[in-house]
Amino acid sequence: MISLSEQTRTAIEFAGDLFRQSKHAVVLTGAGFSTPSGIPDFRSEGSGLWSRDEPLEVASLTTFRTAPEKFFNWFRPLAGQIFHAQPNPAHYALAELQKAGCMHAILTQNIDVLHQKAGSHAVIEMHGSMRTMSCTQCYHQEESFRYLDAFVSRGDLPHCPKCGMLMKPDVILFGEQLPQRAWQQAQREVHTCDLMLVAGSSLEVLPVAGLPLQALDRGAHLIIVNHSPTYLNVRADVAILDDVAEIIPAIAARVVHG
């Protein structure tokens, strides 16, 4: 906290007070939440995944179906980063908030399972998860850890143990619909929350980007912590342009310890 400006310290205190007054708080996390863990986001200039590759060419369902090797060549470095990543202080801070009963659920756009590794529960993975992969032919599902080491270290493609066809990580590619169950769970949380914290998301990807607006329209308070502004900063009760790994633990400390 010593290096933070007076304005930021005041914003953290106000955010903490909003959490303490809340009866049903939820958190929405995006790719920026995991960049301190060494996982690149998508849109940062120079380092974002889409600054180097055209998403529809490498990360679409069409590409996976017609040229799966192209998808896997692109996906392998990212899979390695996810495979070796560990939660950062922001992940642990959210787990602490949940354990203290100050936050109900985490809605995440991330596929890296770092929230669960940090000890969080009630994590709604709206863009799928790296935990499992499914056969594209017979739909048999397996835990990803059985295949990830060989894929990351040697490039061995995952094949179904039942029918031998390629298996696809259970992550949402361009051209796929969001998982229906996860989306319905997210909608229920948004419709009942009285506070939403958006952390590490630029709020540029629909339909998830519309969830905070739905919460606002239903009278919920909004806190945004992100390196760059979002379209809803002007409507947020608190908007902090800073590192989630520093700000989220500070907010959690204010909530839990006063």
H or E element that contains 197: strand 195-199
Computed on alpha carbons and rounded to an integer, the radius of gyration of the chain in Å comes to 19
In order of 144, 199, 205, 233, 242, the CA distances from 230 in angstroms are 34, 11, 11, 6, 13
pLDDT > 90 in the chain, percent: 87
Mean of the per-residue pLDDT values of the chain: 93
Mean per-residue pLDDT, 52-56: 63
Q: pLDDT per residue over 132-141, tens digit each?
A: 999 999 999 9
Residue 126 CB partners (closer than 8 Å, separation 6+): 107, 108, 109, 172, 178, 179, 182, 183, 186, 208
Q: Give the pLDDT of residue 51.
A: 46
Q: Do the Cβ atoms of 218 and 161 come closer than 8 Å?
A: no
Domain ranges of the chain: 1-39+87-127+178-258, 42-84+131-171
Q: Does residue 207 have a cis bond before it (omega within 30 degrees)?
A: yes
Model confidence over 104-133: pLDDT tens digits? 999 999 999 999 999 999 999 999 999 999
Is residue 2 scored above 60 in pLDDT? no
Question: Is 191 tagged catalytic?
Answer: no
Reported confidence tier of residue 52, pLDDT bands at 50, 70, 90: low
CA angle 94, 98, 103 (to 5 degrees): 90
Q: What pairing do the DSSP bridges indicate for beta strands 123-125 and 105-108?
A: parallel
CATH code reported for the domain at 42-84+131-171: 3.30.1600.10
pLDDT tens digits, residue range 32-46? Answer: 999 999 998 765 554
The structure's pTM equals 0.91
For the chain, how long is the longest CA-to-CA vector? 61
Domain at 1-39+87-127+178-258, CATH class: alpha beta
Q: Which of 183, 192, 197, 238 is nearest to 219 (CA)?
A: 192
Q: Model confidence over 175-219: pLDDT tens digits? A: 899 999 999 999 999 999 999 999 999 999 899 999 999 999 999
Q: Of residues 127, 140, 191, 227, which has the active-site annotation? A: 127
- What was the pLDDT predicted at 50? 43
Cα distance between the two ends of the chain: 14
Which ranges constitute the DSSP H helices of the chain? 6-21, 55-58, 61-66, 68-84, 89-99, 114-117, 145-154, 180-192, 211-217, 244-257
Tell me if residue 141 falls in helix, strand or coil: strand
Summarize pLDDT for 219-230 with one digit per residue, the tens: 999 999 999 999
